[in-house]
Amino acid sequence: MQWTAEAEAALKKVPFFVRKKVKSRVEKETAAEGKTVVDIEAVKTTQKRYLSGMAAEVKGYQLDTCFGSNGCPNRSVISEDLLKRLEQVLQEADLLSFLKEQVGDNLKFHHKFRVSAADCPNACSQPQIKDIGIIGAVTPAITEETCSQCAACVEVCPDDAITINETVAIDRDRCMACGKCIVACPTGTLGEKARGYRVLLGGKLGRQPRLARELPGIFNEREVLDIVDACLVLYKKKRRGGKRFAAVLTDTDFDQLSKRFWKQNWPGFQARKVNKFFTSGAGKIP
């Protein structure tokens, strides 16, 4: 579908992270009217319709995902089953009724509880700025197989986390658990230690933006669902009015969730993050 110059200029003013959705919506509504060209009036009509009918479109939550299922070569995990189960958990939480009790019928999209999943650390679905972010992860382990020193792992690692002297070494502080080195290793010197998901909590944009903080560990699907459920319970207990999860999630809450779901399956990297984020003073997990 063609766009006029004026319509394209208006689209460029839309924030980049929703621009694709806005463009798709404008084109869909324009096509429904039998038109093949998007002009500025079509953009304004869609905008007006969107603003006036916003409350009817809010379902209480938003579940985003990346492009992994479309054949992305960077996938660390396949998350389709997890996404289905997450959708069920979010539906059963009946967040729409809860939000109406808190805010009233005049709901806006920014009131929604946002969960985002990404199949690899590239994080195209922006999990770092969502209430709960989920990132696919595969942590490498050094096996007993002899390293041929081919350096294939070094070349494929995007984070410079691998070095080879007499044998291979992994810098856990730099490793993002994408699993590319495991696939590239021809000798099996690098194997899989843990496969699952990293979980981040309390991210948001807006007037007071905040990056989500990462729980220590790599979690399986069941554990991810348990974490989401625990966060929803906390969210309902503490939220008042239009506040986001990031605004009600305190350092103490984060510490308690970290201790509850602690998994020591990513040494070095996770230990550094735990020591950074814990505010109790001990800096240790029992």
Would residue 160 be called left, alpha or beta, if left means φ above 0 and alpha means ψ between -120 and 50 degrees?
left
Residue 160's contacts (CB-CB under 8 Å, 6 or more residues apart) are 171, 174
Q: Residue type for 113, please?
A: F
CB 184 within 8 A of CB 176: no
Alpha-carbon torsion 146, 148, 152, 157, what sign? positive
pLDDT confidence of residue 265: 61
What pLDDT is stored for residue 276 in this prediction?
Answer: 45
Q: How many CB atoms lie within 10 A of CB 26?
A: 24
Cα 230 to Cα 210: distance, rounded to the nearest angstrom: 21
CA dihedral 26, 32, 34, 36 (to 10 degrees): 30
Strands (E), 97-220: 113-118, 132-142, 162-164, 168-170, 190-201, 213-214
The residue whose two tokens read 């989401």 is 228
**Please, is 171 exposed, middle or buried when counting C-beta atoms within 10 Å of its C-beta (0-12, 13-18, 19+)?**
middle
Q: Which two tokens stand for residue 236?
A: 């309902």
Which residue in this structure is represented by tokens 């099996």?
188
**For residues 237 and 229, what is the distance between their CA atoms, to the nearest angstrom?**
12
Give the pLDDT means over successive 10-residue stretches in the chain (286 positions). 93 82 90 93 85 64 86 91 95 87 73 92 94 96 93 95 91 92 96 94 90 94 96 91 87 94 62 42 38
Q: What is the pTM of this model?
A: 0.78
Alpha-carbon dihedral sign for residues 260, 203, 83, 268 = negative
Tokens of 113: 């509880």
Q: Are 159 and 103 in contact (CB under 8 A)?
A: no
* Helix axes of 80-92 and 221-238: crossing angle, nearest 10 degrees: 30
What confidence tens digit (pLDDT) does each residue in 137-188 have? 999 999 999 999 999 999 999 999 999 988 899 998 899 999 999 999 999 9
Nearest to 284 by CA among 46, 155, 100, 274: 274
CA dist 252 → 119, 221, 249, 277, 281 (Å)? 29, 25, 8, 10, 11
